[in-house]
Amino acid sequence: MHDLTKIVAANLARVRDEIATAARAAGRRPEDIRLIAVSKTHPPEAVAAAIAAGQTDFGENTVQEALTKIPLYASVTWHMIGHLQSNKTKFVPGHFAWVHSIDSLKLAQRLSRQAAEKGVVLDALFEVNVTRDPAKHGLAPEELAPVLDALLKEDHPGLRLRGLMTIGPYPAPEADSRACFARLRELRDECRKRFGLRDFTELSMGMSGDYAAAIKEGSTMVRIGTAIFGERDYSK
């Protein structure tokens, strides 16, 4: 455990330095970028090591795995960043503070209703498949505004609409990554203005391999796993 704590702390320090460097190079403040440590497939001890090093935000891809960790570390902020199946949404409110992967009107309605029933409000991001990669989830760019329009025409008491998420092309030249991230920023700005969404400010984009490019294009949240915790255990 001691070695794990030291390794994770060193990795976190390096990632934070790199985020700060990328932010300053883009004329931005490092504190405006939220680091989400993606702990999927890593044991609870890895989460504990990151918390000991000052990490406060964690991301998980599956509800089932997350529920083995969240009760142990309820004082930190948990983000649901993976694709959500409708039969798992009931476990999100009350466990996660943020959900990054809303990709349909039906999913948004379901989460809002279930959150309201539990007396909580989820900070919600809509996933956009900017590159139209058939292997990825998310709304097509042209589907985003109609979904928001429909949701805003009805009550959504359990959701606070906060912004957008995407997964960039990877591996890819930096120019391609930046083009993807720039398009997500444009979509956020368009929707924020069109619908008068004051709190629609977040851009969840950038992972271990491309977060510097994402920061250059305005990312407010980077989702980093491997660079903090090492290679994942895919047997889990």
**Which class is 2-229 in CATH?**
alpha beta
pLDDT by residue for the chain (236 residues), tens digit each? Answer: 569 999 999 999 999 999 999 999 999 999 999 999 999 999 999 999 999 999 999 999 999 999 999 999 999 999 999 999 999 999 999 999 999 999 999 999 999 999 999 999 999 999 999 999 999 999 999 999 999 999 999 999 999 999 999 999 989 999 999 999 999 999 999 999 999 999 999 999 999 999 999 999 999 999 999 999 987 653 44
**107 touches 84 (CB < 8 A):** yes
Rounded to two decimals, what is the model's pTM? 0.95
Q: What is the mean pLDDT of the chain?
A: 95
> Which pair of structure tokens corresponds to residue 1?
């455990």
- pLDDT value for 235: 41
- pLDDT value for 234: 38
Q: Which of 236, 230, 221, 234 is nearest to 59 (CA)?
A: 221
> Which pair of structure tokens corresponds to residue 188?
């956020």
> Which pair of structure tokens corresponds to residue 50?
């990151």
How far apart CA 226 and CA 202 sit, in angstroms, is: 23
- pLDDT value for 236: 40
**232 touches 40 (CB < 8 A):** yes
Type and span of the H or E element at 124 = strand 122-127
- pLDDT value for 231: 78
End-to-end CA distance of the chain: 20
Is the peptide bond preceding residue 141 cis, with omega within 30 degrees of 0? no
